[in-house]
Amino acid sequence: MATVVSVSDGGIIVGKPKWRPLENEGNLALLLLLPTVALLLMFIAYPFVRGILLAVTNSKVGVIGDFVGFENFARLLKDPIFHAVVYNTFLYTFVTTVFKLILGLWLALLLNRDFKFKAFTRAFILLPFIVPTVLACFAWKWMFDPTFSVINWMLFKLGIVAAGAGVNWLGDGDMAMLSIMIVNIWRGVPFFAISLMAGLQTISPDLGEAAAIDGAKPLQRFWYITWPLLMPVTMVVVLFSVIQTFSDFQIVYVMTGGGPANATHLFATYAYQLGIGTGLLSQGAAVSLAMFPLLFAIVIFQLMYIRRVETR
Amino acid sequence: MSNVTIRHVHKHYADFHAVKGISLEIKDKEFVVLVGPSGCGKTTTLRMVAGLETITEGDIMIGNKIVNELPPMDRDIAMVFQNYALYPHMTIYDNMAFGLKMRKFDKAEIAKRVNNAADILDIKEHLSRKPRMLSGGQRQRVALGRAIVRNPKVFLFDEPLSNLDAKLRVQMRVELKKLHQRLATTSIYVTHDQVEAMTLGDRVVVMKDGLIQQVGEPLELYNNPANKYVAGFIGSPAMNFAETVIEQVGNAVYATNPTMKIRVPEQIAARMGPHKGKPATLGIRPEDLHMATGADPEELSFDAVVEVAEQLGSEIILDLKAGGGAMVASVEPTVKVKPQQKIRLGINPRGLRFFDAATEAAI
């Protein structure tokens, strides 16, 4: 196939082809893929496999441990704290995602309009997203302080709470959950707003005008035109957010450390506490892995939905 | 009655005066074309009629009712956009039915109207498809269909053919004309293409810099342009211009420059009184020029040098150096010329036009 045929005066000379392995697309592709594959193996596959191996042993810090099969998982099923962790994580993810979507969409619709200082405002909106999470969480922790916090001071000045009877934001189980949800929403809304705004900008303004002429009122224009056209972007943004929120660690770790009385533990914080805090490496790994099938199911479901929306 | 009246309408943007006080009366069932270069205010005017832009000053009336403050949906208009603006997530049927659904028509009536429009536009087999599965021409038909199902008082077209290729554009132009003859709905059509304007419009409005230059039937604009701008804009290839000075020699009036001395026809010469001794622009259309023969008098012909000859089959377009600049002549297909050849061109005196050099108004 790759023979070089040259015609000289007199006859046809068939020359021997040079050996050029990189001109073969398959070889070249393999070579170009190599760095990526190496990185993936090193930083994704190895830790993942190591996690699985840890989860089926009884390793502790300093003890290699023996193979124990699914004992760690069986123990988790009976662990009341783990039950709370599952409930907390789902509640936390669901509530914050709903609010982030609603507030983010609202903000995106506002930012998509024409107004003065538009570019500045759009950049400003991103601040919660840019500030290092741990730093922001410390600030929030201070704001939620039961005695000295600015929030309780405001509630007192507004006459909503009595002096000395401020809300115990982080000390009460339910209030602590509410508090970390507020921080998560505060931090996540900019991502929703900016991403959805980018989505809105891909929708031609002519469509809205055509719909206006067709007799659609503003709410109808949103419902029949904007919302369905924004759906693919919305689904991707929600997918990212769910993955991030489901495995959230920083906010809870800094604000409550999972407390009070394990009331705000999520998968990641509980895994950390078991594995690193108490040194029960294999049990921590089991908690982390328990998150995997759930997250996997959510991701598969959403990816299927995105594909359906995109191909219609 | 669905006449449209535009009365002293202005449009100011923050620092741009887009429309500078235009007035226009569009009669019931009339097809009026707004034509001009980009930035002339034609689209802004159309969008003000649609209600998509606010009116800074003046009034717009549809069917004798002032609509300045009415939202688009209450103006009983339909608009066809340049990029069609079809709803990409809806089927063709739903695209055409949307306006009727929003206006709460019952299902049977919607089906009847959509099917009827699909019949007229020959898109019946595509009704269950999505817009992206259709070609540009088919999408354009859907956009038309969406407009006609509503049976509105006025159709507004915003450069609807400019996204189509040349062949399809000509075809759709004819179909638009047929559609208007069939439906007889008042139509306002915006384009920058003077051929579209001439072929489609009952009347054509030539605009420039936010002002109306001239309103008239296509042939009126072609034969009696009100100023140099309209003269140059209407007609293809465009009218030739040469800078001359008006001089009286004996009984006759001449337009002269170093390379031409053309006698001004008598009916125009009668109006030349105040222009004598002053500069004026001579205008002559390419189709009013021909290869001079012995029968052409000296005072109605001039010398030219051929630069390029374009064979079109039915005619030859000559690009020339003449009259102190570039000129174009459309001559018989039998003419044989070579580049750089010196020729003499004869003028059809009925085609001569003159414009005031300062005001550019026709003399």
Residue B46's CATH number: 3.40.50.300
Chain B residues in contact with A114 by the CB 8 A cut-off are none
Residue for token pair 């001004």: B264
If you measure CA to CA, which chain B residue comes closest to A311?
B89
Q: Which domain holds residue B247?
A: 240-356
Residue A300 forms contact with B (CB below 8 Å): no
Do B96 and B120 fall within a single domain?
A: yes
- Both B25 and B71 in a single domain? yes
Residues of B in contact with A212 (CB under 8 A): 51-52, 71-73
Nearest CA in chain B to A225: B87
Q: Based on the fold, state whether residues B121 and B190 are members of the same structural domain.
A: yes
pLDDT band at A10 (very low <50, low <70, confident <90, very high): low
Query: Which member of B79, B88, B130 has the closest CB to residue A213?
Result: B79
Statement: residue A26 has pLDDT above 90: no
Digit-by-digit pLDDT tens for chain B (363 residues) are: 689 999 999 998 888 888 898 999 999 999 999 999 888 889 999 999 999 999 999 999 998 889 999 999 989 999 999 889 999 999 999 999 999 999 999 999 999 999 999 988 888 899 999 999 998 888 988 999 999 998 899 999 999 888 888 888 888 899 889 889 988 899 999 999 989 999 999 999 999 998 999 999 999 999 999 999 999 999 888 999 999 999 888 888 889 888 888 888 888 888 887 888 888 999 999 999 999 888 888 888 888 999 999 999 899 999 999 878 899 999 998 888 888 999 999 999 889 999 988 888 888
A312/B102 Cβ within 8 A: no
In a shared domain, residues B107 and B254: no
Would residue B115 count as lying in a domain?
yes
Q: How far, in Å, CA of B263 to CA of B279, rounded?
A: 15
Do B218 and B126 have their domain in common? yes
Residues B164 and B196 in one domain: yes
* CA distances in angstroms from A216 to A32, A211, B98, B111, B207, listed in the order given: 52, 5, 9, 19, 32
In chain A, what residues touch B83 (CB-CB under 8 Å)? 204, 206
- Dihedral (C-alpha) B147, B149, B153, B157: value to the nearest 10 degrees? 10
Neighbouring-strand partners of residue B24: B6
Domain presence at residue B361: no
Q: Do A213 and B88 touch (CB under 8 A)?
A: no
CB atoms A215 and B88 under 8 Å: no
Q: Is B362 a domain residue? A: no
| Residue B75 located in a structural domain | yes
> Is B126 inside any structural domain?
yes
Task: Write down the pLDDT at residue A93.
Answer: 94
Quick one: which H or E segment has residue A74? helix A71-78
Query: Does A15 score more than 80 pLDDT?
Result: no
For the segment B90-117, what is each residue's pLDDT rounded down to a tens digit?
999 999 999 999 999 999 999 999 999 9
* Cβ pair B52:A212 closer than 8 A: yes
User: A213-246 pLDDT, tens per residue?
Assistant: 999 999 999 999 999 999 889 988 998 899 889 8
The domain boundary, picked from B233, B264, B293, lies at B233
- Cβ neighbours around B308 below 10 Å, total: 10
- Asked if residue B92 belongs to a domain, the reply is yes
* B151, closest residue in chain A (CA to CA): A214
Q: Are B231 and B192 in contact (CB under 8 A)?
A: no
Check whether residue B75 and residue B196 sit in a common domain.
Answer: yes
The strand pairing partners of A6, in sequence order, are: A13
A249: its two tokens = 């660690």
CB pairs under 8 A between A and B: 58
CB-facing half-sphere around the CA of B7: CA atoms within 13 A = 13
Please report whether residue B140 resides in a domain. yes
How many domains does chain B contain in total? Answer: 2
- In chain A, what residues touch B73 (CB-CB under 8 Å)? 212-217
Contact B87 A207 (CB under 8 A): yes
- Cβ-nearest to A213 among B73, B87, B130: B73
What's the CATH code of the domain at B267?
Answer: 2.40.50.140
Instruction: Summarize the confidence of residues A273-288 as an average pLDDT.
Output: 86
A10-24, A94-108, A245-259, B104-118, range with the lowest pLDDT: A10-24
Domain chopping of chain A, boundaries: 58-311
Nearest CB to A214; choose among B52, B102, B130: B102
Question: How many Cβ atoms are within 10 Å of B217's Cβ, its own excluded?
Answer: 13
pLDDT tens-digit readout, B242-298: 999 998 888 888 898 888 888 888 888 888 878 888 889 999 999 999 998 888 888
Q: Which of B184, B217, B233 is the last residue of a domain?
A: B233
Structure confidence at residue A1 as a pLDDT band (50, 70, 90): very low
In chain A, whose CA is at the least distance from the CA of B155?
Answer: A213
**From 3.40.50.300, 1.20.120.140, 3.40.1080.10, 1.10.3720.10, which CATH number describes the A58-311 domain?**
1.10.3720.10
Same domain for B221 and B250, yes or no, is no
In this prediction, residue A9 carries a pLDDT of 52
Question: Which of B166, B200, B233 is the C-terminal boundary of a domain?
Answer: B233
Asked if residue B363 belongs to a domain, the reply is no
Rounded to 10 deg, the angle between the B107-121 and B92-102 helix axes is: 130
Distance CA(B207)–CA(B161), nearest Å, equals 19
B323: phi then psi, degrees, rounded to nearest 5: 60, 25
Q: What is the residue type of A147?
A: T
CA angle B223, B224, B230 (to 5 degrees): 100
Chain B residues near any Cβ of chain A (below 8 Å):
50-52, 71-73, 77-79, 81, 83, 85, 87-89, 98-99, 102-103, 130, 146, 150
Q: Are residues B207 and B176 in the same domain?
A: yes
Q: Which residue of B has its CA nearest to A206?
A: B85
CB atoms A214 and B73 under 8 Å = yes
**Average predicted confidence (pLDDT) for chain A:** 86
Q: Are residues B229 and B245 in the same domain?
A: no
Query: Is B203 found in the same domain as B108?
Result: yes
- Tell me whether residues B50 and A213 touch, CB distance under 8 A: yes
Is there a contact between B189 and B161 (Cβ–Cβ < 8 Å)? no
How many angstroms away from the CA of A110 is the closest CA of chain B? 19
Burial letters for A63-96: b for 16+ Cβ neighbours within 10 Å, e otherwise? eeeeeeeebbbeebeeeebbebbbebbeebbebb
Residues B164 and B220 in one domain: yes
Q: What is the DSSP-derived secondary structure letter of residue B196?
A: H
The answer, for A237 touching chain B at a CB cutoff of 8 Å, is no
pLDDT confidence tier of residue A310, bands split at 50, 70 and 90: low
